[in-house]
Amino acid sequence: MKEYELQFEDKKWQCDYAATFFERGWGLLGRKSYPANRIMVIPKCGSVHTWFMRFNIDIVFLDRCGKVLRVEYNVSPWRMLSGGRGACTTLEAMSSRDGSVSGFFNLKIGDYVHLIEMKS
């Protein structure tokens, strides 16, 4: 899995980039947890489901320019969500147990994020 860095304003976050069909389809499914300091980036993905998830997640949908189209915090298992028209990338992170924001830096609709591929 490729490693990227997500940037928003002066903040940076390490990401796992699901580049292959299998990685995109699997996402965070089946995991018991996910590091609190990481984000899963799922390109070519405008909708997600949380079937078989073992924990709540935070979800952000982006358009092709990195503009935030929809933000959903503390999404429980067995849900389906669409990013709406223009959504083409999804960001997922593990929610904190108390339901507070896991670290999407309090993103709001209309904010822009930048993904930068990390060199090996």
φ, ψ for residue 43 (rounded to 5)?
-75, 165
Confidence of residue 37 (pLDDT cuts 50, 70, 90): confident
Q: What is the pLDDT of residues 46-64, one digit of tens each?
A: 999 998 888 888 899 999 9
Confidence of residue 102 (pLDDT cuts 50, 70, 90): low
Q: Tell me what pLDDT residue 120 has.
A: 61
Please answer whether residues 87 and 44 qualify as being in contact, where contact means their C-beta atoms are separated by less than 8 angstroms: no
pLDDT at residue 91 is higher than 70: yes
Kindly list the domain boundaries of the chain, sorted by start residue. Answer: 2-117
How far apart (Å, rounded) are the C-alpha atoms in residues 69 and 62?
Answer: 5
pTM attached to this predicted model? 0.87
Domain 2-117 sits in CATH at 2.60.120.1140
